[in-house]
Amino acid sequence: MDFYLSSRGFGKKEREFKKLFPKNNKKTLFIQNAMDDPKYAKRAEKMRKHYLEDLEGLGLNPEWLDLKKYFGKRRALEKKVKRAGVIWVSGGNTFILRQAMKLSGFDKILQKLSKKENLLYGGASAGIVVLAPSLCGVEIADNPKPNPYHTKLIWEGLGLINYMPIPHYKSRKWKQKIERIIKYCLKHRIIFRVLKNGEVIVIKNGKERLLQ
């Protein structure tokens, strides 16, 4: 599995993003469960439309995948995910996204497919933070209290990368919270990488590059 990890949206490296697309499989699953908090409802619908249009504009064949429809249906979800060439996970609340991945079994499916070739995971903000080994410290920026699924809070990340990606670095809106997360990581000796809006981390064949 290759990775295209953006701080915000597709970043400013869409040409590099397109280079990572599997040649013979443009089927794309778009996941937006990080915005399942009711307060995001109107914004989520608008963003979903734009994301699907933009993914199609890049030459992909996108489909909205709502993980809620697969809660307790891991086998059916796995069949669907296995047919995809690209997975894109958008931002929102990292803790809500993590819970949706757990309840649907998507977390185990993704971990199982992590060694698969011709599969690209792309994401932004919460969609990349969730890949870290742990979500401890994320609560500084993301509120862990919203619980639309009425289930247990999960602090374990997917562990598909060995560090905490910190998006929105030096962003005016997030500046103070991001600085606090960095201090938390330094204090607890957590490996991290910062990403400014527009920047992207690409991991291909296990080799990582920061695109500024």
User: Is residue 87's pLDDT more than 90?
Assistant: yes
Task: Give the span between the Cα atoms of 74 and 175, in whole angstroms.
Answer: 38
Q: What is the pLDDT of residues 13-66, one digit of tens each?
A: 889 999 999 999 999 999 999 999 998 888 999 999 999 999 999 999 999 999
The pLDDT-based confidence of 155 (bands split at 50, 70, 90) is: very high
Supply the pLDDT for residue 12: 86
Q: How many helices (H) and strands (E) does the chain have?
A: 7, 9
- CATH classification of the domain holding 138: 3.40.50.880
Whether 126 and 15 have beta carbons less than 8 Å apart is answered as: no
DSSP letter, residue 93: -
Supply the pLDDT for residue 41: 86
Supply the pLDDT for residue 7: 97
Mean of pLDDT values over 157-180 = 96
Mean of pLDDT values over 120-136 = 98
Supply the pLDDT for residue 40: 87
Task: Give the span between the Cα atoms of 82 and 102, in whole angstroms.
Answer: 17
* Cα distances (Å, whole numbers) of residue 109 to 3, 27, 61, 85: 16, 17, 21, 14
Q: Alpha-carbon torsion 20, 98, 157, 108, what sign?
A: negative
Q: What is the pLDDT of residues 130-150, one digit of tens each?
A: 999 999 999 999 999 999 999
Mean of pLDDT values over 60-89 = 98
> How would DSSP label each residue in 140-200?
GTS-S---TT------B---SSSSEEE-STT-TTTHHHHHHHHHHHHHTT--EEE--TT-E
Q: What is the pLDDT of residues 190-208, one digit of tens each?
A: 999 999 999 999 999 999 9
Structural domain of 25? 2-211
The total number of structural domains that make up the chain = 1
Supply the pLDDT for residue 105: 98
